[in-house]
Amino acid sequence: MELVQTGIPGVDEMLGGGIPKTSVVIVSGSPGIGKSNFAMEYIYNGVTKYDESGIYLTVEDVPKNIIAYANAFGWDVEKEIRDEKIAIVAQPIYGVDGKTKEYSSGETLGEAIERINAKRIVLDSVTLFKYLFKDDMSRRVNLLNFIKQVKDAGCTTLMVAEQHESTANITYLDEHFLADGMMLLFWSRHKEKNERCFRVVKMRGVKINPDIRPMEISNTGVVVYPTQVPLSLTDK
Amino acid sequence: MELVQTGIPGVDEMLGGGIPKTSVVIVSGSPGIGKSNFAMEYIYNGVTKYDESGIYLTVEDVPKNIIAYANAFGWDVEKEIRDEKIAIVAQPIYGVDGKTKEYSSGETLGEAIERINAKRIVLDSVTLFKYLFKDDMSRRVNLLNFIKQVKDAGCTTLMVAEQHESTANITYLDEHFLADGMMLLFWSRHKEKNERCFRVVKMRGVKINPDIRPMEISNTGVVVYPTQVPLSLTDK
Amino acid sequence: MELVQTGIPGVDEMLGGGIPKTSVVIVSGSPGIGKSNFAMEYIYNGVTKYDESGIYLTVEDVPKNIIAYANAFGWDVEKEIRDEKIAIVAQPIYGVDGKTKEYSSGETLGEAIERINAKRIVLDSVTLFKYLFKDDMSRRVNLLNFIKQVKDAGCTTLMVAEQHESTANITYLDEHFLADGMMLLFWSRHKEKNERCFRVVKMRGVKINPDIRPMEISNTGVVVYPTQVPLSLTDK
Amino acid sequence: MELVQTGIPGVDEMLGGGIPKTSVVIVSGSPGIGKSNFAMEYIYNGVTKYDESGIYLTVEDVPKNIIAYANAFGWDVEKEIRDEKIAIVAQPIYGVDGKTKEYSSGETLGEAIERINAKRIVLDSVTLFKYLFKDDMSRRVNLLNFIKQVKDAGCTTLMVAEQHESTANITYLDEHFLADGMMLLFWSRHKEKNERCFRVVKMRGVKINPDIRPMEISNTGVVVYPTQVPLSLTDK
Amino acid sequence: MELVQTGIPGVDEMLGGGIPKTSVVIVSGSPGIGKSNFAMEYIYNGVTKYDESGIYLTVEDVPKNIIAYANAFGWDVEKEIRDEKIAIVAQPIYGVDGKTKEYSSGETLGEAIERINAKRIVLDSVTLFKYLFKDDMSRRVNLLNFIKQVKDAGCTTLMVAEQHESTANITYLDEHFLADGMMLLFWSRHKEKNERCFRVVKMRGVKINPDIRPMEISNTGVVVYPTQVPLSLTDK
Amino acid sequence: MELVQTGIPGVDEMLGGGIPKTSVVIVSGSPGIGKSNFAMEYIYNGVTKYDESGIYLTVEDVPKNIIAYANAFGWDVEKEIRDEKIAIVAQPIYGVDGKTKEYSSGETLGEAIERINAKRIVLDSVTLFKYLFKDDMSRRVNLLNFIKQVKDAGCTTLMVAEQHESTANITYLDEHFLADGMMLLFWSRHKEKNERCFRVVKMRGVKINPDIRPMEISNTGVVVYPTQVPLSLTDK
């Protein structure tokens, strides 16, 4: 089984090597936990470490902000876009009328996959993606079509998912059952401290480490510590 | 009463010998716990240990992946398929239009049962199976028809079920009440450790061991330890 | 007030003697707890200990299985059926089309009551019985009609009810409020052990013992220990 | 303000003397706690201790059973019915077609109030009473009409209410907000013991004791101990 | 900012002086906690201590009962009604047909405000007020109209609200968000004791004391102890 | 990335400098916690400390009250309105008919942005804003249009959000997922004390301090203590 490495420190070790190729993987977590950083790092590492092009499909933000957020970690996404290694396919939900040109990237996902020969996809976020459609049935059909499209194209995909509850417990939705894998990013509170934690919940085809590990947003991106224990969990 | 052995280490001991023939049994659990491995091991053991053919009916994945996941445990499912001992009947939900040939196995469940003279069936998963239908009534009718079909054919069946809650508590649904037996696979957390646990909740016609036991995904498949106690439960 | 004894060890003692004649009593519990065994033991004891004929009305299973499960406890139900002391009225919900002859007993409840002069009735289960009908109103009407029918016939009735929650707490439904009595069978967990517990919640017309008692499924059937305390509750 | 005494040992003391005349009071509790006994004792005491006639309006049971349950406490309700001091107005919900004569008392509430000059009314239970109507609006209108009818007639009324949750917490419904008073009867569990408890939650116009007190079903009826503390609550 | 004093012992001290004029303030609490007493005391104090007329608008009870409840605290509301200092505008929900004259006060809120030159209003209760209307939209429109009417008239208003949960936690509804202030009256239980507690949750324009204080219903009305600590909370 | 400072003591330090320009940020919290004060202080500081004009868009209150509340902290908002540095765009929800002139500011948001060249916007509150629309779809469309309008205008925006639960846990809604940042203001209770707490949950593009800090409403406005620990959390 061919494995796709995320290149994010500590993550591949937790995954038992990486993500099986053509998997669709949920990256689920509360607001502010670092899901979008995690997802962009996966794309950027694909280009710079593994020579795989990648597409960041966003319904949340505009390209210039996404580029700016990446710059803060020293990732020169703009260069990779010029070199046709990365494409940002953007259709922010608050620009749904499409009139304001800067909101839309003017390229479909399919066109972008073909143009840059993409091997990695991020959908940020599947939660807002579903908001684009009126009823449950059309949401499900469009989600299934998206999954089919990226699998047919041979891509390995992360779908960012917002978690509705602020607690550690999570109610699983359609997107969790449809995915081949799931990673959970969550806040663990101890007294006044909020600590980022990481857990691989599921990954078909590899032997994962299911334990909870501390995670940080460093100056160079997301870091998971696969041999450490979250401080907030030591006396719980 | 004729008993069908799973052959999974520790499981038949917990079941009081095995599963009464023609039973329909729920294998319920959270994402990533190992339900699909458990189900395939049941099919593979049927062929290799008990000379019973089996069908793996999936609405979750494509045959080549299912075969690859099994290979990781050293189970040569491909050989058994060639020998007409195992059949994978696949109709992944994300390939519902059926146009892409690789998604569908091109054979109905009834045809496969007859062709290989199947005695064991797996439905992976009843949760996504229900998603195929538009309303509650047609879901129930199709589920009842499936149960009737496999019972009429004299098969003993596992139905994999996704658990919506991440907690230990479980809300029972239609499929739980319709089943003759139920096995629960769940994560038990102690501090930062997530430990796999196994429990037989119900099995009509045999005397089960209702206690909770540790479970592992080893290199050769699922293992339940019927005489051990989960570490995560010893000081709770 | 005339009391109907269950004959199940420990149960009549908890009931203050037995069940007032013509009562309709809920036997509620989680999957696998032993509700069907409890109910069949009530019918079998009626015939063998108190000379009262009884009917086991099932929407869950086929007669041959029900007979086999009883045999495992040494109860020769088949003989009592031949002697017209017991009747199994079966219409399993998964055989709703009625075409497959073995699913249906070909006799209505009313016909069976008259034929064997039944004094005891079991409905296994009221939960699936309600699934037979499309909407809440027709479910309620059919349930009320069933209750009226058995009361008019002078029978004393147990209605087996599936409990949707796996926790000790229970949300009361229509059937609980319509019943004259209620017995609760539930799992009490302590660390890795799951212990069967018994509680009489309600019985109109008698003075019950409302405390929780340990219950077991022995080789000869259900046993309640009215003078013991569940181990799992001693240090909670 | 004129107070109506219940005559149930301990209860009037908790109420600050009794129930203000023409009040409508909810008696709420879990199945089996003793609500119907409590309510019949209120009616029977009215006749035998305070010379006030009373009506027991039931949608749950038939008169002969209600009389039998009362007899078990030594209350000769049958005599009071003959003397036109008590009337049982019965329309059990499972006899809704009214064809079976024994189910219905053949007299309306209004006719019974006038015939025996009733001063006390019991509705057992408001929960099933609401089941008689198809939608929320007609339930509310009929409940409001009932309250208006008994207030206009100058009666003081208890409405028995089933509590849907088995826990101590209670979700308040229409009937709770519409009532002038509320008494709560509930089970308090300590280890394996279930202890009956009593609490006056609300009574407009009098100064209540809001604390929780132990309650028992003795051989002569309900007893509340206004100066004792429930054992189950002493070390919680 | 002009402040309106409640005159209820301890309350104005918790409010930082009083309620800003023309505010609409929720008084929320469980059944029986003393909300109606609190509200009437606010009206009665307005007349007797601050020379401000007030209206008690009730959809819960009839004027004669409201007057009687007030008399129990020594408040001669009847005299103030005769002197046109207090008006009771009553339309009890159980007298919705309006035929029975005693249920309705025969005067609209607007007429009463003008007649007695009202400066204080009580709506008892906003919960039942909403029940008067068929759907959410008409409930909201009528509630908004009520708020606008009393603000336009320059009145300072308390809206009594029933709390649906018996627990300390509260789910905020429309009326909570629409109000300028909120006071919470709740039961705090310690073992068998139920203690009344008071908390100012919100008051726009003043600096409140947000801590929890004990409250009592004395012989002369509601008393809050702003410098004491609830006994039930000292060892929690 | 250009940062907009709130100027509220302690807040910018928690935000890692400030809010990235053109962000839309949720300020979420329970009733009474100080959200409106927080929001007005952001606008007032914009004018007086950073020379940026600001608009306070309210659907909750009338301008004169908003000005009065600000005066209590020594903020002369009236002067800034005269100098066209601040605009209050008011359309209180209880004045929806618009007839009463004082309720409406007679100016649209777009007109106000242009007139005073606004760089900062407050929407108080997004919760009631959504109440203005009849169904979920029109609520979402209007919310998306608002977000687009303020982003297109280059403004940095706070949206005040009411939290429905009184507990620390929060269920995330549309507005939380649509926002670029989120700050949480909540009550932390210890025994009888209610302490204000502050937490930055999310802010795209900056490195936040995710820990919980004490917050106070002082005589001069909101103060967050970025180096202190909430007393109520030290022994939890």
Kindly list the residues from chain D whose CB atom is less than 8 angstroms away from the CB atom of residue E164. Answer: 171-172
Q: How many residue contacts between E and F have a Cβ separation below 8 Å?
A: 84
Asked if F224 is an interface residue toward chain A (Cβ–Cβ < 8 A), one would say: no
**Contacting residues of B for A201, CB less than 8 Å apart:** 30-32
pLDDT at E103: 62
- Percentage of residues in chain D with pLDDT exceeding 70? 92
Q: Give the C-alpha separation, A194 to B69, whole Å.
A: 37
B178 neighbors B23 (Cβ within 8 angstroms)? no
Average pLDDT over residues A47-66: 94
Q: Determine the pLDDT at residue F235.
A: 66
CA distance B157 to E16: 70
Give residue A139's pLDDT band: very low, low, confident or very high (50, 70, 90): confident
Share of chain F above pLDDT 70, in %: 92
Contact (CB<8Å) C211/D193: yes
The per-residue pLDDT for range F18-50, each reduced to its tens digit, is 999 999 999 999 889 999 999 999 999 999 999
What is the mean predicted confidence (pLDDT) over B165-189? 81
Return d(Cα F29, Cα F35) in angstroms, integer.
7
Q: Do chains B and E touch (3 or more CB pairs under 8 A)?
A: no
CA dihedral C43, C45, C49, C54 (to 10 degrees): 10
Q: What is the β-pairing status of strands E53-58 and E86-90?
A: parallel
For residue C55, the SS3 value is strand
Tokens of E39: 């509200």
pLDDT at A140 over 70: yes
Kindly report whether the peptide bond that precedes residue C138 is cis, defined as omega within 30 degrees of 0: no
Say whether residue C199 is in contact with chain D using an 8 A CB cutoff: yes
- Is pLDDT of A236 > 60? no
pLDDT of D129 reads 86
Beta bridge partners of A218: A221
**Residues contacting residue A22 through CB under 8 Å, at least 6 positions apart:** A151, A154, A155, A156
Q: Give the per-residue pLDDT at D45.
A: 98
- C and F touch with 3+ CB pairs <8 Å, answer no
Query: What is the predicted pLDDT for the residue at B169?
Result: 63
| Interface probe, candidates E37, E91, E192, E222, chain D, greatest D C-beta count within 10 A | E192
Are F233 and A96 an interchain contact pair (Cβ–Cβ within 8 Å)? no
Question: What is the Cα–Cα distance from F25 to F44, expressed in whole angstroms?
Answer: 17
- pLDDT score for E168: 56
Q: Which of D179, D193, D177 is nearest to D236 (CA)?
A: D193
How many Cβ pairs within 8 Å bridge chains C and D?
85
Model confidence over F170-192: pLDDT tens digits? 677 778 888 999 999 999 988 89
**What is the model's pLDDT at position F141?**
83
User: What is the per-residue DSSP string for E185-216?
Assistant: EEEEEETTEEEEEEEEEEETTS----S-EEEE
Which among D42, D82, D38, D35 has a CA at the least distance from the CA of D63? D82
Tell me the pLDDT tens digit for each residue of C8-37.
999 999 999 999 999 999 999 989 999 999
A3 touches B: beta carbon within 8 Å? no
Band (B150; pLDDT cuts 50, 70, 90): very high
A75 pLDDT exceeds 90? yes
Cβ pair B30, B187 in contact under 8 A: yes
Which amino acid appears at position B64 of this protein?
A: K
Give the pLDDT band of residue E158 (cuts 50, 70, 90): very high
Give the nearest partner residue to D1 out of E32, E72, E95, using CB atoms. Answer: E72
Our CA-based measurement puts residue A185 at a distance from the nearest CA of chain F, in whole angstroms, of: 14
Look at F72 and E152 and tell me if their CB atoms are within 8 Å. no
Report helix, strand or coil for F116. Answer: helix
- Residue of B191, B197, B219, B236 to mutate, interface with A, max A Cβ within 10 Å: B191
Least confident of B62-66, B84-88, F117-121: B62-66
Q: What is the mean pLDDT of residues F218-230?
A: 96
Q: Which residues of A184-197 are buried (b: 16+ CB within 10 A; e: fewer)?
A: bbbbbbbebebbbb
pLDDT value of residue E101: 53
Mean pLDDT over E149-154 rounds to: 94
CA distance D144 to D155: 15
Local confidence band at F98 (pLDDT 50, 70, 90 cut-offs) = low
Which comes out higher in pLDDT, residue E1 or E77? Answer: E77
Q: Which two tokens stand for residue F129?
A: 């804003």
Are B15 and B206 contacting, i.e. CB atoms less than 8 angstroms apart? Answer: yes
Q: Which long-range contacts (CB under 8 A, 24 or more apart) does A103-110 make?
A: A103/A62, A105/A63, A109/A55, A109/A57, A109/A146, A109/A149, A110/A149
Q: Do B166 and A178 touch (CB under 8 A)?
A: no
- CA-to-CA distance for C22 and C29, rounded, in angstroms? 22
Q: Are C4 and C180 in contact (CB under 8 A)?
A: no
Amino acid at B22: T
d(CA E196, CA E10): 14
Task: Say what the pLDDT of residue A96 is.
Answer: 57
Which chain E residues have a beta carbon less than 8 Å from that of D171?
Answer: 164-166
Q: How far is CA D71 from CA B143, E236, F86, in A?
A: 51, 47, 80
Residues of B with Cβ-Cβ distance to C163 under 8 angstroms: 172
Rg of chain A over CA atoms, in angstroms? 17
Its sign, for the CA torsion C86, C89, C93, C96, is positive
Calpha distance D104→D61 (Å, rounded): 10
Which pairing describes strands F221-224 and F118-124: parallel, antiparallel, or unpaired? unpaired
| Residue E97, pLDDT score | 58
Alpha carbons within 13 A on the beta-carbon side of C64: 10
| Beta bridge partner(s), residue E161 | E28
Q: Are F115 and F87 in contact (CB under 8 A)?
A: yes
Assess B85–C contact: CB distance below 8 Å, yes or no.
Answer: no
**If you measure CA to CA, which chain A residue comes closest to B216?**
A207
Closest to E102 (Cα-Cα) out of E82, E118, E88, E119: E88
Q: Which residue in chain E has the smallest CA separation from F163? A: E172
Q: Is the pLDDT of residue C3 over 90?
A: yes
Q: Is the pLDDT of residue E1 over 90?
A: no
Touching C (3+ Cβ pairs <8 A), the chains are B, D
Closest partner residue to E236 (CB to CB) among F72, F94, F191 is F191
Chains D and B are touching, with contact defined as 3 or more CB–CB pairs separated by less than 8 Å: no
Q: Does the pLDDT value for residue F99 go beyond 60?
A: no
Q: What is the pLDDT of residues C158-178, one digit of tens each?
A: 999 988 765 556 677 778 888
Q: Mind giving me the DSSP string for A129-196?
A: HHHTSSSHHHHHHHHHHHHHHHHHTT-EEEEEEE-SBSSS--B--HHHHH-SEEEEEEEEEETTEEEE
Q: Residue E113: its pLDDT value, please?
A: 96
Q: What is the ipTM of this complex?
A: 0.89
Q: What is residue D104's predicted lDDT score, i.e. its pLDDT?
A: 64
Q: Summarize pLDDT for C120-167 with one digit per residue, the tens.
A: 999 999 988 887 787 777 888 888 889 999 999 999 999 999 887 655
D-to-E residue pairs, Cβ atoms closer than 8 angstroms: 85
Chain A residue closest to F148 (CA)?
Answer: A94
For residue D123, pLDDT over 80 is answered with yes
F214 in Cβ contact with F229 (< 8 Å): yes
Chain B residue closest in CA terms to C97: B145
Q: Are C152 and D100 a contacting pair at CB < 8 A? A: yes
* Residue A179, pLDDT above cutoff 70: yes
Confidence of residue A128 (pLDDT cuts 50, 70, 90): confident
Give the CA distances from residue F98 to residues E125, E155, E180, F133, in Å, rounded to whole numbers and listed in that order: 27, 20, 20, 16
Structure tokens at D223: 């007893």
> Comparing C-alpha atoms, which of E92, E88, E91 is closest to residue E63?
E88
Question: Do D210 and E191 make contact, defined as CB atoms within 8 angstroms?
Answer: no
Contacts with C, D 97-136, CB within 8 Å: 100, 125, 127-128, 131, 134
Quick one: pLDDT at residue F104? 65
pLDDT at position D82 over 60: yes
pLDDT range class, residue F168, cuts 50, 70, 90? low
DSSP state of D165: B
pLDDT at residue A235, rounded to an integer = 67
**CA distances (Å), B177 to each of B140, C94, C124, C213, E191, in order?**
12, 12, 11, 26, 40
Question: Which chains touch F (3+ CB pairs under 8 A)?
Answer: A, E
Dihedral angle sign, alpha carbons of residues F88, F94, F99, F101: negative
DSSP label of C19: E
Mean pLDDT of chain D: 90
Place of tokens 């034929």: C115
Q: Which of B178, B186, B203, B231 to mutate to test the interface with C (most CBs of C within 10 A)?
A: B178
Residue C236 pLDDT greater than 60, yes or no: no
Mutation for testing the F interface, residue in E173, E201, E203, E224 having most F CBs under 10 Å: E201
Look over chain A and give the mean of its residue pLDDT values, rounded to a whole number. 90
**E140 close to F (CB below 8 A):** yes
- Assign B167 a pLDDT band (cuts: 50, 70, 90): low
Residue A206 in contact with residue A17, Cβ under 8 Å? yes
- Which residue of chain F has the CA closest to E150? F94
Phi and psi, residue F17, nearest 5°: 125, -40
Question: Is the CB of B200 inside 8 Å of chain C's CB atoms?
Answer: yes
Full-model pTM = 0.91
pLDDT bin (cut points 50, 70, 90) of residue D221 is: very high
- Please provide the average confidence, as pLDDT, over all residues in chain B: 90
Q: Which two tokens stand for residue B130?
A: 């229900």
Give pLDDT, residue B165.
65
- Chain C residues with CB under 8 Å of B177 CB are 31, 125, 127-128, 131, 162
List the single residue in F with minimal CA-CA distance to E142: F94
Is the per-residue pLDDT at E164 higher than 90? no
Q: Which of F167, F193, F217 sits opposite E207 (nearest CB)?
A: F217
Q: What's the DSSP call for residue D186?
A: E
Read off the pLDDT of residues D3-40 as tens digits, 9 standing for 90 and up. 999 999 999 999 999 999 999 999 999 889 999 999 99
* Cβ atoms of residues D40 and D71 within 8 Å: no
Which residue type does A54 have? G
F181-190 and F193-203 strand pairing: antiparallel
Look at F131 and E176 and tell me if their CB atoms are within 8 Å: no
Confidence band of D134 (pLDDT split at 50, 70, 90): confident
Please tell me if residue C7 touches chain B, with a CB cutoff of 8 Å.
no
| Dihedral (CA of C221, C156, D222, D177) sign | positive
pLDDT of residue D165: 65
Which residue type, as a one-letter code, is found at position F187? W
Any CB–CB contact under 8 A between C95 and chain B? yes
Cβ of D47 under 8 Å from any chain E Cβ?
no
Measured between beta carbons, the chain D residues lying within 8 angstroms of E32 are: 182, 200-203, 208, 210
Question: Mutating which of F192, F197, F232 best tests the E interface, going by the most E Cβ atoms within 10 A?
Answer: F192
Per-residue confidence at A60, pLDDT binned at 50, 70, 90?
confident
Look at residue E161 and tell me whether its pLDDT is greater than 90.
yes
Residue B55 predicted with pLDDT over 70: yes
* Residue A164 with chain B: CB contacts under 8 Å: none
DSSP E strands in E65-192: the ranges are 86-90, 118-124, 156-162, 181-190
Strand bridging mode F24-29 / F156-162 = parallel
Helices and strands (DSSP H and E) totals, chain D:
9, 11
Which chain C residue shows the shortest CA-CA distance from B150?
A: C94
Q: Are E164 and E171 in contact (CB under 8 A)?
A: yes
User: How far apart are the C-alpha atoms of C14 and C21, rounded to whole Å?
Assistant: 17
Note whether D217 contacts C207, CB cutoff 8 Å. Answer: yes
Residue B190 CB partners (closer than 8 Å, separation 6+): B231, B232, B233, B235, B236
Judging contact as 3 or more Cβ pairs under 8 Å, the answer for F and B is no
